[in-house]
Amino acid sequence: MRIVVAISGASGASLGLRALEWMPESIERYAIISDHARVVLEKEQALSPVLPKGVTLLDDRDISAGPASGSYRLDGMLLAPCSMNSLAKIACGVADTLSTRAAAVMIKEQRRLVLAPREMPLDAIALENMLKLARLGVVIAPPMVGYYAAIDSLEKLERFIVGRWLDQLGISHDLFRRWR
Ligand SMILES: Cc1cc2nc3c(=O)[nH]c(=O)nc-3n(C[C@H](O)[C@H](O)[C@H](O)COP(=O)(O)O)c2cc1C
């Protein structure tokens, strides 16, 4: 299985890194990190992105990389967190970076695309963009809490959110306690 995780400049950019870290190592994993995601990681958490072992970093400015083409085999893409900027671009078909181009390819090829929009509150522009994409088959999965998962720490919350994204990508995991 080959998966791309793109990280854009919304709050909680480290969640995208967590998703890469908590995916089984058997998955061929690629990361795309936008310039603004790097700014957010630095400003919010004083982090410069360190990728988990086995993950290949793709340059967001390299629109000749594999995921930019529909003939490149890709099983799924997660954009987490997804800024309102990236959301708007994808909803309008703007593909001027590798991450937005890869998302456009996933849509045209009708492959699994999971977006995790992060903003609060949400305005009508963002809601319309999400509705438009949901109608095209894109999974809109914002980082939201599920209190049924007995969450009592930030790590458990992150495991729950990442686990729900992996569910949407069809990836088996044991990241949180499921509802029985
Ligand atoms: C610390 C910080 C936090 C931000 N949080 C958000 C956010 O939660 N949601 C959002 O849509 N934009 C947020 N932004 C603004 C985006 O980074 C900005 O719109 C940027 O153009 C997004 O670019 P990208 O989509 O190419 O990554 C934040 C910016 C900074 C500096």
Q: What is the CATH number of domain 2-144?
A: 3.40.50.1950
Amino acid in position 135: R
Cα–Cα distance for residue pair 161/118, rounded to 1 Å: 12
Query: Domain-by-domain residue ranges, the chain?
Result: 2-144
| Mean pLDDT over the full length of the chain | 96
Dump pLDDT digits (tens) for 41-51.
999 988 888 89
> In 3-state terms, what secondary structure has residue 8?
coil
The per-residue DSSP string of 42-64 comes to HHHH-----PPTTEEEE-TT-TT
Beta pairing, strands 55-58 & 2-7: unpaired
- Please give the helix or strand (H or E) that residue 32 lies within, else none: strand 28-33
Which residues does 43 contact at the CB level (< 8 Å), separation at least 6?
none
Most informative mutation of 5, 11, 120 for ligand 1 (most atoms within 8 A of CB): 11
Which residues does 120 contact at the CB level (< 8 Å), separation at least 6?
none
- The whole model's pTM is what? 0.97
Ligand 1 nearest-atom number relative to CA 43: 1
Those residues of the chain that have pLDDT short of 50 are: none
